[in-house]
Amino acid sequence: MTEQAPQIATRPLSHAPRTAAFFDLDKTIIATSSSAAFSKPFLAGGLLSHADVLRSAYAHFVFMIGNADADQTERMRAHLSSLVTGWDVEKVRQIVTQTVHELIDPYVYAEAVELIAGHHAAGRDVVVVSASAAVLVEPIAAVLGADHVLSTQMTVDDGRFTGEIDFYNYGDNKAVGIHRLAAREQYDLAQSFAYSDSITDAPMLEAVGNSYVVNPDRGLRRRAAQAGWGVLAFTRPIALRPRIEPAPVIAVVGAAALGVTVWLIWRAARRRSRRRLGNH
């Protein structure tokens, strides 16, 4: 099947219905698992044990090679649910916010960034759709400039996760979330777009009129051939911001002023030294 580029360049007319572009997160926007990416800072912050990290690494490995069937996925969901029980929500949010550039930036696909920019330029909202918890997804979506987030909602009591799940945004539930958001925002789903890599997201792709599979697993590639969905290859992870950011203008001006001051002091001292030598 040949790669088919989305046709997204035209900005809708003012009277046209509202539309959106729905992006799966893991292995579609980013070349990794968002949950696994934060294992190291969670360990350092005392939220995870070394045994937890090993179990999470195995789950990440199964996910990345695309071999997670429904039973394995359910076991991973149950494991992650029990894992976060008792975690302080604000502490998790702070860790994710502080480390999102370091841990997520290097894995963002350039092609996804370009598509997001293209959809925004065409007047569409961009929605990140993920099975990961909202506390993980929302900071990543903010960095990407997304307009909305559809993610798993964990039950919180007294500022801590209880281990219960209010809404598991996976499989059919992704389509449920998309239809709810579309009703609220008045999106025309027949003219909207969706992107994903996994056969488990077939319901999400079926919910819109313009569907594209990204680096699809075997099952999704077969489904795409049957449905006539476009196939895209994302291969270029990039950093969303330079590793060394330019200094703020005020800091640059301040540094320049300091440099001039030091030079003037040095010059005056040198003149005084010459005068003393001349007097001798």
Phi-psi region of 244 (alpha: psi -120 to 50; beta: other; left: phi over 0): beta
pLDDT at 14 over 70: no
Place of tokens 């149950």: 78
Element (H, E) at 129: strand 125-133
Could you report the per-residue pLDDT of 62-107, keeping only the tens digit for each?
444 454 556 656 666 676 677 788 999 999 999 999 999 888 888 9
Residues 156 and 51: beta-carbon distance below 8 Å: no
Q: What is the pLDDT of residue 116?
A: 97
Record the tokens describing residue 179, joined without a space.
């239809």
Annotated active-site positions, please? 24, 26
More confident residue, 244 or 211: 211
Cβ count near 185 (within 10 Å)? 14
Distance CA 151, CA 124 (A): 20
Could you report the per-residue pLDDT of 118-138, keeping only the tens digit for each?
999 999 999 999 988 899 999
The distance from CA 100 to its chain's CA centroid, rounded to whole angstroms, is 9
pLDDT at 187 over 70: yes
For all residues of the chain together, what is the average pLDDT? Answer: 79
pLDDT at 47 over 60: yes
Q: What is the pLDDT of residue 254?
A: 37
More confident residue, 9 or 8: 8
Least confident of 79-88, 182-191, 214-223, 270-279: 270-279
Q: What is this structure's pTM?
A: 0.76
